[in-house]
Amino acid sequence: MMNIPKHWQVKKLGEVGKCVTGTTPPKNDSKNYGNYIPFVKPPQLFDKQISDAPEKLSKKGAELARILPENSVLITCIGNLGRTAINKNPVAFNQQINAIIPFEKIEGRFLFYQAQSYNFRKQLDELSSATTVSIVNKGKFETIKIAIPPLPEQQAIVSRIEELLSDLDNGKQQLQLAQQQLKTYRQSLLKWAFEGKLTNNDVKDGELPKGWKIVNISDLAEKNKHALKAGPFGSSLKKEFYTVDGYKIYGQEQVISGDAFIGDYYVSDQKYQELKSCKIKPLDVLISLVGTVGKVLVLPQNCRPGIINPRLIKISLNTEIYLPKFFKYYFESSYVKSVYGSKTQGTTMNVLNLGIIKTIPFPFPSIKEQHLIVSELESKLTVCDKVEETISAALLKSESLRQSILKKAFSGELIKNYRLH
């Protein structure tokens, strides 16, 4: 526990408020849900005040739920631990959330801000059960230790915190807005590029530039039967076939990271020869098929010989007519994602396949114009990357400043000249 002034006390959560775990009224009875009271779940907790939720309970459902009075503190205790909110009005809440209803002489907002501090969240993590999903039950939750000064000092600290965080949060919102605008600009840039508007001044909406065509992937691939190739069946590439060295196995690890050189899965020469229809070569395009679908890796000239695994598709483009980088920029654009998006939605995870890729229309300008477009995109996107880095660094600094304010607040340093009157 951090150092605190002598007149402060260290108390457990269960000593400063009533700790309650939420519940969910039966879903199979639609009469439990209506428009009577907000039903709060973890996605609505953003370290802010809360007054509403997308889902609401009926009066009947509210009788089966746990209702929090205003000025209670809600904290996620399953999965993504430590998200917080303080309610402006009565709300119901589900079982993934523990809440504190403050006792008399305890300021709810003081608990709310302390729950966002590094010290509080560190304790929450340490108390979580070592299972696949992190869980902190009510019994453990009640043992979390916090610093408590007298009520007037709590209120003075909250007032100072809110004064300082107001400016900080306004700045953070502006940074997040800039981040979103940058993301929108990136996609607009790609849209203009593949409509021909980056390299042609007189293109009308809905029309192709002069000399452009729309083709399918088969028109752009090399003329050999393995130019468009999905990875082998899983039974052909079990882990028992892996070796410590040999021919590299390329999978989603390389594609999602954008790094062809990471990973240490290999197969022998014999297995490579068995699966040579799945072999790769420099400038082949690899596409992720499962979960994180549609990510593209263009293999570099010095890539290690190898094969793709079952979660990838390999496309060998005819590079005399179509640039692999042009393909990558186009395939990762929001337009292409909108074309295949609904077709990839599975019951448990999204899945892309070669059949879907063959339905995607590809813009086909001259190779000279492709080079110009790629050059323009690289130039402009490099600037975007640098701006993004600056924004990300500023957001990290903002969070660091926030934690510094909270640390001072709950160690008695934020208003250390405070005197009780």
Confidence at residue 60, expressed as pLDDT on a 0 to 100 scale: 97
Per-residue model confidence (pLDDT) at position 3: 84
Res. 419: pLDDT tops 70: no
240-268: average pLDDT: 95
Q: Is the pLDDT of residue 98 over 50?
A: yes
pLDDT digits (tens, 9 = 90+) for 58-75: 999 999 999 999 999 999
Residues 141-184 have pLDDT tens digits of: 999 999 999 999 999 999 999 999 999 999 999 999 999 999 99
- What is the pLDDT, as a whole number, of residue 349? 65
pTM (2 d.p.): 0.75
Separation CA 280–CA 292 (nearest Å): 21
* pLDDT for res 420: 46
Work out the pLDDT band at 421, boundaries 50, 70, 90.
Answer: very low
pLDDT surpasses 60 at 418: no
Least confident of 105-114, 216-225, 332-341: 332-341
Work out the average pLDDT over 68-92.
Answer: 97
Q: What is the pLDDT of residues 192-216, one digit of tens each?
A: 999 999 999 888 888 899 999 999 9
State the average pLDDT for the chain.
94
Statement: residue 417 has pLDDT above 70: no
Domains along the chain with CATH numbers = 9-148 (3.90.220.20), 213-364 (3.90.220.20)
**Distance (Å, whole) CA 33 – CA 62:** 9
Residue-wise pLDDT tens digits, 305-323: 999 999 999 999 999 999 9
